[in-house]
Structure 1
């Protein structure tokens, strides 16, 4: 598949179950089970509503009309007003390697700038190597400690990027 084979659009209510399924399928692939991970975050079941809040946006990636991934930005919980968080960026294996991750990242960061954020934070965990390469290619730098109050204590790697 090529870039032309996928589309990126704002999440709609009809996408909630697909994104919940994707997140709950992908996270265990990387050992992200149990407390401290987004898999248990109640927001996973109502992403459209959660990202309808001010200064937040969530996008889905479709291939042939099927939602295969997504990601977005929102104010960093417990952070200052200038810092957003890249949130819940997950892709099914069939969607990886298409360039959709980089395109979704850029779209999310553009939206963060439109919202007036000047920094973007993210959390991940050891073993998500392809994701970490994408973050680093996108200008994120690893930092030594978590920021904010995300509730995702299972993550062990943190990144920050100036916007």
Structure 2
């Protein structure tokens, strides 16, 4: 069956939070200062009701297999938005799901008039970092904004 890409809905909250935490445990980055302990992870549909934000869900056979969004994180420079919560289930990797979710999020950023996309990640997520680099994200030497995810130590920026 085909993969469906759609915007987040309230009914997705529990399954999406479960998927995110499973993936963080898989990569052993389930620690304080990440979305693992962030209370907003349990109600992401509410978070993305924020103006000029968007969150995309990848669904296959009624199951959520990934998600990614953009969010106007506090403290970012004018015209900059954060690429947030890009996760794909283990069985969905290598099929272009993450890349499609990232592209849909970047298109949303352009739609809202942003001219830069910032992200935070971990060195353990080598496949994701490689994908970001192929999409022309450049590494930064320090964090931007106030995401509250102090454990992240890879920072990247895409100029649109």
**Structure 1 unaligned regions, length at least 5:** none
- 1:41 correspondence with 2:38: yes
Q: Normalising by structure 1, report the TM-score.
A: 0.95
Please state how far the C-alpha of 1:146 moved relative to its aligned partner: 0.6
Whether 1:75 and 2:72 are equivalent positions in the alignment is yes
1:140 aligned onto 2:122:
no
Partner in structure 2 of residue 63 of structure 1: 60
Give RMSD over aligned pairs.
1.1
1:102 and 1:34 map into 2 onto residues whose CA distance is 26
Q: What do the CA deviations read for 1:47-98 (whole angstroms, capped 9, x no partner)?
A: 1110011010001101112111101001122112311000011111011111
Contact 1:73 1:112 in 2 (8 A): yes
Report the TM-score when normalising by structure 2.
0.96
User: SS of the residue aligned with 1:40?
Assistant: coil
SS in 1 for 2:44: helix
CA displacement at 1:29 relative to structure 2: 1.4
1:121 matched to 2:118:
yes
- Superimposed CA distance per residue, residues 30-61 of structure 1 (whole angstroms, 9 cap, x where no aligned partner): 22122111111111111111001101000110
Q: Is the 8 A contact 2:88 2:97 kept in 1?
A: no
Q: CA deviation at 1:24?
A: 0.7
Q: Runs of 4+ in structure 1 displaced over 4 angstroms?
A: none
| Aligned match of 1:110 | 107
Aligned length: 160
- In structure 2, the residue matched to 1:5 is 2
Counterpart contact for 1:75–1:85, Cα < 8 Å? yes
